[in-house]
Structure 1
Amino acid sequence: MNRLYLIRHGETEWNLYNKTQGCRDIPLNDNGRHQSMMLARRMSMYNIDKIYSSDLRRAVETASYIAEILKKDIIRMKEFREINFGLWEGLTFEEIKKNYPEEHKVWKETPHNAKIPGGEMLKDVYERVMVGLRKVLDESSNQDIIIVSHGGPIKLMVLGLLGIDISKYNRFRQDNTAVNIIEIYENKNAVLTLYNDTRHLLW
């Protein structure tokens, strides 16, 4: 059995001000670093074999706190980057709604059909992320694995592993440093045992 710990990165200034980050390489802010320290304390309780991360700075920074306490290397993978939001990157949600009303409406109501100006379609992100996930699972049989990524890719991995259509994307939520646990058995059946859990931030 593989046990996957899918973890969203800590808070950034752009998260704080509701700006769309996408593939912009934004670092953690002070609160994000504190969140990551609390997260690392939590993850020290588990027997982890490998740590993978998106290659974007906010994910790598978050993973580094865990890696330090677990004495593990970080394997960086571009496949786990956030969705490329094109011209929306750097804009707040309200600015997107105001400047791109039609595209925003489609994104909110039927995200799988949305064509973000200059960005990726959800189905393409899904394919990218699942290719990366298959690589990880192929080289990590019967191991406990951390993947530090972003809200979008994590939701898509959960949907893909559970066989849920990506049209349901907006019905799922991911908070900063949220921990999600999925167990994958020999018959390839996946069981979600924990979702969007941030209890470590209350310790």
Structure 2
Amino acid sequence: MNNFFFIRHGKTFLNNHKRYTGLIDVSILESSWKDVIDSVNILKNRNITEIFSSPLFRALETAIIVNSQLNIKISVIKEFQERDFGILTGRKKLQYKKHFFKQGSHPYIYKKKIMYGLSKLKYKSNFIIIGHSGTYEYICQLLLGKINKINKIQNAQIIYFYKKENKWYIEKI
């Protein structure tokens, strides 16, 4: 894995209302389709080889929109789905401790799932991962080796991951 792009799925109703979505399978807002298309136009001449998407509908729907612009294969990587927020799923985001969600996914297990998903892409390059903010945060932790200030990612935003002299870097596109 040398370089790839990460796109967070388009905005959903729950994102608009600042609620924990987790494993709830929701569609993106119709207004977000344009945001995704506008973001993807930047990638048209980048020779992207494939799209790897979370199985959750908001990510798959975003992948379909990206595919409509780039015409490349979509593959689902189940390990890239968002974590389970347990009893907080669907609730308003407040000042909860973000590392542990009662009856939800443990951060260590979630991080291991993301690592396994990335291992499936070990020999690939110049692809797109379409996932969730949690997926993105853990990919940053795994590849950059620390929590980075750029960990916050907006809906339909593109981040470029690239390797230089055996070290990972990221760049907002």
Q: Same fold per TM (> 0.5)?
A: yes
RMSD: 1.9
> What does residue range 47-86 of structure 1 map to in structure 2 within 5 Å?
47-86=47-86
Would you say 1:124 and 2:122 are equivalent positions?
no
* Contact 2:54–2:131 under 8 Å retained in 1: yes
1:18 alignment counterpart: 18
* Contact 2:140–2:148 under 8 Å retained in 1: no
Post-superposition shift, 1:77?
A: 1.1
Gap change, CA 1:86 and 1:18, over 3 Å in 2: same
Post-superposition shift, 1:7?
A: 1.1
Give me the whole-angstrom Cα distance separating, in 2, the residues matched to 1:133 and 1:62: 20
Structure 1 vs Structure 2: percent identity of aligned residues? Answer: 25
Question: Which of 115, 123, 126 is matched with 1:144 structurally?
Answer: 126
Give me the whole-angstrom Cα distance separating, in 1, the residues matched to 2:170 and 2:80: 21
Q: What SS is found at the alignment partner of 1:23?
A: coil
Task: List alignment gaps of at least 5 residues for structure 2.
Answer: none
Gap change, CA 1:193 and 1:169, over 3 Å in 2: closer
2:167 alignment counterpart: 190
Aligned residue pairs: how many? Answer: 173
Post-superposition shift, 1:169?
A: 7.4
Cα distance per residue 1:45-103 (max 9 Å; x no partner): 31101110001111111111111221112101110001111111111114xx5xxxxxx
Task: List alignment gaps of at least 5 residues for structure 1.
Answer: 98-103, 198-203
Q: TM-score under structure 2 normalisation?
A: 0.91
Give me the whole-angstrom Cα distance separating, in 2, the residues matched to 1:129 and 1:73: 21
Asked which structure has the greater CA Rg, the reply is 1
Q: What SS is found at the alignment partner of 1:87?
A: helix
* Contact 1:44–1:66 under 8 Å retained in 2: no
- Give 4+ residue runs of structure 1 displaced > 2 Å after superposition: 168-172
Give me the whole-angstrom Cα distance separating, in 2, the residues matched to 1:61 and 1:153: 17
1:161 alignment counterpart: 143
Give me the whole-angstrom Cα distance separating, in 1, the residues matched to 2:86 and 2:160: 30
Q: What SS is found at the alignment partner of 2:159?
A: strand
- 2:58 maps to a residue whose letter is R
